[in-house]
Structure 1
């Protein structure tokens, strides 16, 4: 049995969607962000010393980091369905986009969030960096998605699960209007049955959202 330690409004949403797509039995232990600080509760440290989510338990082992968890679950339960073959030209791009979602693209998104939360949105240097970096990265992603339904090849893969959380963050900020290919891609992902089930579960677990 797989257990997901799920924090609301977090990268754990990637894993929640992936588990719904895999169709393997799993259980969820749900955690709520502090309504004032937006931080994870200290109880998450009981699941993993870093106190972050997602964390999964499987076969008596505990694993953190959404990129690692995504690849681990796919390799175990759906390697032929949700990742390109090792000897294909798509495999290298698959790994590239998994890392892109959690490294290159996540940096300006988090900076923007922190700047706004800290009340320093008038910082010219930070605002300039965030705007330029976001545009560079999103333009690159938008160009790559031209004429494509999925980011790698012509089928759903772990790279799409990884990008999904970034796109949810961007959509909430109204930041996709100038990137039509990304907007269409996000819309197509949102119509997948397993994605919709995951969003319904997130709404159920997200007490702060419904309060």
Structure 2
């Protein structure tokens, strides 16, 4: 059995953040790629390592571990050797944003995406009606909530420096947040402030991030904001 960390990577997914993390830490690893189908869904083969069929998943020591947040914390704890740790003053920010990213922010972004997908996939004759309905719901409910999130993130980045926890290198919070902001910037960048866009672009400029793109292949969120 190989002792090398194996990352099960799905294109255009959260698993890109795991590739970035291990490249930053210099962890030896292998990649097993999975490609989305024409329907943009993950292939059924992913269910062999994750019963829910999603990515990322890592295999380490013969055991599989799904879920981005769990994987990020596990890799930093086991392989970080003191890296990717927040300074004492940034510990709470690191903890908060690590969990905020998927618990609060990403559900709103997914809801926004679903509201766009439903009219687009509806029969042609009712598409205009559904567009009107879902655009009104989005404008009245989702966008005001996302504006609150965008303002909170922007204000934090104005005071924390280059990275979420205020340190000199990315921590768990950054690996979790950057993907969310990439996806957000791909769908509605007009809500994101200049500090937020600069933050994502700063991550994109790192050599480790670029190496992760080479290892992962197709990734539609790689463009700067």
Question: TM-score normalized by structure 2?
Answer: 0.84
Q: Which of 165, 182, 200 is equivalent to 1:152?
A: 165
CA contact (8 A) 1:176 1:182 kept: no
**Cα RMSD after superposing both structures:** 1.9
The 1:40/1:180 distance shift into structure 2, 3 A limit, reads same
How far residue 90 of structure 1 moved from its aligned partner, in angstroms, is: 2.0
Larger deviation, residues 67-76 vs 189-198: 189-198
Task: Output the CA distance in 1 between the equivalents of 2:211 and 2:32.
Answer: 17
| Deviation for aligned residue 1:206 | 5.8
Q: How far, CA to CA, are the matches of 2:140 and 2:7 in structure 1?
A: 38
How far did 1:118 drift? 1.2
Q: Does the residue aligned with 2:158 lie in a helix, a strand or coil?
A: coil
- In our comparison, the structure showing a higher alpha carbon Rg is 2
Query: How do 1:12-161 residues align onto structure 2 when only pairs under 5 Å count?
Result: 12-35=15-38, 37-78=39-80, 80-84=82-86, 88-119=88-119, 120-122=130-132, 123=134, 124-147=136-159, 148-155=161-168, 156-161=170-175
| Structure 1 range deviating more: 51-60 or 92-101 | 92-101
User: How many pairs does the alignment contain?
Assistant: 203
Offset from partner CA, 1:148-175 (integer Å, 9 cap, x none): 1111122221111111111211222251
Structure 1, unaligned runs of 5 or more: none
Structure 2: runs of 5 or more not aligned:
120-129, 221-225
Deviation at 1:38, TM superposition (A): 1.3
State TM-score, norm by structure 1.
0.89
Give the deviation of 1:134 after TM superposition. 0.9
Q: Secondary structure at the match of 1:63?
A: strand
